[in-house]
Amino acid sequence: MAQIRSITDINEKIQKGEAVVVTAEEVISLVEEYGAEETARRVDVVTTGTFGPMCSSGAFLNLGHPTPRMRMSKVYLNGVNAYGGIAAVDVFLGATEIPDTDPANQNYPGSFNYGGAHVIEDLVAGKQVFLEASSYGTDCYPRQKLEAWIKLEDINEAYLFNPRNCYQNYNVAVNLSDRTIYTYMGILKPRLGNANYCSAGQLSPLLNDPLYRTVGVGTKLFLGGDIGYVSWYGTQHNPCGARGENDVPRTPAGTLALIGDLKKMKSKWLRGVSYLGYGVTLQVGVGLPIPVLDVDVLRHAAVKDGDIVAQVVDYSESYPQGIGGSLGEVTYAQLKSGSITVQGKEIPTAPLSSYPKAKEIAETLKQWIIAGDFTLTEPVASLPSADSGKKSKPLKASK
């Protein structure tokens, strides 16, 4: 495939204020009007976006040294445990952690009103958070107890580090059983009462670069309202599953591990949310810019909802029991129409990932690039793709 432009060429145009940038939604109509080749010649960058629940998220915090010094072992922020099994005053605050006092699903379905994701949102919003720490004490770190009110600005370093974000495609969840079930895919009513899906479809980052041709380790992107970077491929990155003729995965596939400075992020794009009967998670805003290096990259970025399919999966038995299997395939165009047909029954659909906010992110990133505030990066290593042979293995329990 003949290259049209390099990332260096694009950055020169960005700096001169001449780059042509469109969102992954806008590019669809351009291709319909001018064809892929002409559009690829005209457009330098396509921006994508997603704003959905991403459980595998969290933040590394360095809380600073008190006097006397302390090697914090057990650390709580607003009652939520932050993992202290690293250096003295470093902790990792996971999005899905809940207070030890939360009754969880003992009071089924639990409401999970507050957890790690909410602490992250509160910190980013500039709120005071109550820190409690304890330690066994050492000669070099004698202090054993500490309480303090802290704010994000008081913390030395705070960075978001999400091991798995931006799932490339996802299941459509339904319930075949006779009772309502409460899942990370939302509330599912009995006997195919509703279907929930969770992807921005044609705007979703990895669905627009299905073979990871432009995204790689080191790629700069929109994360939580500021800039972030791809630090690695995400956990459960599974690039070798079934794909359509347009190279788009038909099942959950690639993922990204992302990193960025929490201090610069905005609580609008990092929201703590509660899934009834399931738990707490962080709704994360991510936007990936795609440099149009050649016609193929552009064709991929112009994918539309009608050409992306997802599998309908039963979350009452097939998913929890790890049986596998799909009840059928539907397109995102069908999902967005408000109803799909499964086993001959028409059922209403609802998204969990916000399409209008995904669009706002793609639009924001586009404006950053047009204004010359955001340039593109060359990846320093590529992500395992469809030809990598990478597989996800199940865990064999011994008991």
Partner 1 sequence: MVRRKLVLRFPASAVENPFVYTLAKEYNVVANILKANINPRKEGRLVVELYAEEKDYEAAIDFLQSRGVTILPLAQQIVWVEENCTQCGACTGICPTGALWIKRPEMTVSFDGEKCIVCEHCLKACPARAVEARYLSGE
b/e map of 145-154 (b: 16 or more CB within 10 Å)?
A: ebeeebebee
Long-range contacts at 320-328 (CB < 8 A, ≥ 24 apart): 322/394, 327/174, 327/176
Our CB check for partner 1 shows the closer of 199 and 219 to be 199
Shortest distance, CB of residue 43 to partner 1, whole angstroms?
A: 22
> Can you tell me the distance from the alpha carbon of 13 to that of 386, in angstroms, rounded to the nearest whole number?
32
Our CB check for partner 1 shows the closer of 63 and 284 to be 284
Which residue from 288, 329, 313, 121 is spatially nearest to 200, judged by alpha carbons?
288
Our CB check for partner 1 shows the closer of 53 and 287 to be 53
Query: What token pair was written down for 127?
Result: 């709120």
Instruction: Report yes or no: 148 and 113 within 8 Å, Cβ to Cβ.
Output: no
Does the annotation mark 140 as catalytic?
Answer: yes
Checking DSSP bridges between strand 45-47 and strand 21-23, what pairing results, if any?
parallel
> Can you tell me the distance from the alpha carbon of 62 to that of 92, in angstroms, rounded to the nearest whole number?
9
Q: Which H helix or E strand runs over 124?
A: helix 116-124
Our CB check for partner 1 shows the closer of 39 and 175 to be 175
Encoded amino acid at 340, one letter: I
Shortest distance, CB of residue 280 to partner 1, whole angstroms?
A: 9
> Can you tell me the distance from the alpha carbon of 95 to that of 104, in angstroms, rounded to the nearest whole number?
15
Helices (H) and strands (E) in the chain, counts: 6, 26
Which residue from 87, 152, 157, 146 is spatially nearest to 119, judged by alpha carbons?
152
> Can you tell me the distance from the alpha carbon of 335 to that of 314, in angstroms, rounded to the nearest whole number?
16
Shortest distance, CB of residue 335 to partner 1, whole angstroms?
A: 10
Shortest distance, CB of residue 275 to partner 1, whole angstroms?
A: 6
Shortest distance, CB of residue 113 to partner 1, whole angstroms?
A: 8
Q: How many other β-carbons are positioned within 10 Å of the β-carbon of residue 377?
A: 16
**Which DSSP string corresponds to 163-218?**
EEES-SS-PEEE--SSS-EEETTEEE-TTTT-EEE---GGG-GGGSSTT-SS-EET
Shortest distance, CB of residue 365 to partner 1, whole angstroms?
A: 18
Shortest distance, CB of residue 78 to partner 1, whole angstroms?
A: 16
Task: Please give the residue ranges that form the binding site for partner 1 (CB under 8 A).
Answer: 51-53, 109, 111, 113, 186-187, 189, 194-196, 271, 273-276, 281, 283, 336-338, 348-357
The number of angstroms, rounded, from the C-alpha of 115 to the middle of its chain's C-alpha atoms is 18
Our CB check for partner 1 shows the closer of 303 and 376 to be 303
Our CB check for partner 1 shows the closer of 65 and 189 to be 189
Single out the catalytic residue among 55, 140, 198, 240.
140
Our CB check for partner 1 shows the closer of 53 and 58 to be 53
What does each C-alpha distance from 365 to 225, 235, 284, 311, 370 come to in angstroms?
9, 26, 15, 30, 9
Active site residues: 140
